[in-house]
Amino acid sequence: MSSLKFTEDHEWVLITGTTARVGITAYAQEQLGDVVFVDLPTVGAKFAKGKEAAVVESVKAASDIYAPVSGTISAVNDALPDDPSLVNTDPQGDGWFFELTLADAGELDGLMDEAAYQAHIGA
């Protein structure tokens, strides 16, 4: 059982049990353009909800990726340093950034479902 949620900052969050996998949406990668570098957090690092956890760099600019919920990094996507373009080609699949273990599952209630996110981006 897993569920997919979204933030206003265009991150998606795939929740499986107490683990949340985080990436950016297709809309976000489209806005960013070609991704050339991703600065990932270290496994074991703790982040409070809303704190900068990663940085994604396009040819044009750097953008912060915020922890959508509080938690501890349990895994990062080791494929990204070698092939950051995965964020463009498969943003909601192989282009994921990191996974964290939820500190407070109640925070998930503050995230959007897919319909709300689609409305948020005016799709």
Partner 1 sequence: MTDTETPLLTTALDALHRALGARMVPFAGYAMPVQYPTGILTEHNFTRSSAGLFDVSHMGQVTIRGLNGADPAAALERLVPGDIQALKPGRMRYTMLTDDAAGILDDLMVTKLEDRLFVVVNAACKTQDIARFRAKLPDCEVIEHHDAALLALQGPQAVTVLETLIEGVEDLGFLSGAEFAWSGVTLFITRSGYTGEDGFEISVPNSAAQSLAQALLADARVKPIGLGARDSLRLEAGLCLYGHDITQDTTPIEADLAWTISKRRRAEGGFPGASVVQQQLADGTSRRRVGLQPEGRAPVREGAKIYADAALTEFLGTVTSGGFGPTVNGPVAMGYVAASHAAVGRALFLELRGKPVPAQVAALPFTPHRYVR
- Residue 15 or 87 having the CB closest to partner 1: 87
Among 14, 27, 37, 49, binds partner 1 (CB under 8 A): 37
- Residue 84 or 95 having the CB closest to partner 1: 84
- Considering only 18-26, 36-44, 94-102, 110-118, which stretch makes contact with partner 1 by CB under 8 A? 36-44
- Residue 37 or 92 having the CB closest to partner 1: 37
90 forms part of the interface with partner 1 (CB under 8 A): no
d(CA 104, CA 93): 25
119 forms part of the interface with partner 1 (CB under 8 A): no
Among 2, 3, 16, 34, binds partner 1 (CB under 8 A): 34
39 forms part of the interface with partner 1 (CB under 8 A): yes
- Residue 27 or 37 having the CB closest to partner 1: 37
Q: Distance from CA of residue 35 to its chain's centroid?
A: 14
Tell the smallest beta-carbon distance from residue 16 to partner 1 (Å).
30
Query: How is the chain classified by DSSP, letter by letter?
Result: -EEEEE-TTSEEEEEETTEEEEEE-HHHHHHH-SEEEEEPPPTT-EE-TTSEEEEEEESS-EEEEE-SS-EEEEEE-TTTTT-TTHHHH-TTTTT--EEEEES-GGGGGGSB-HHHHHHHTT-
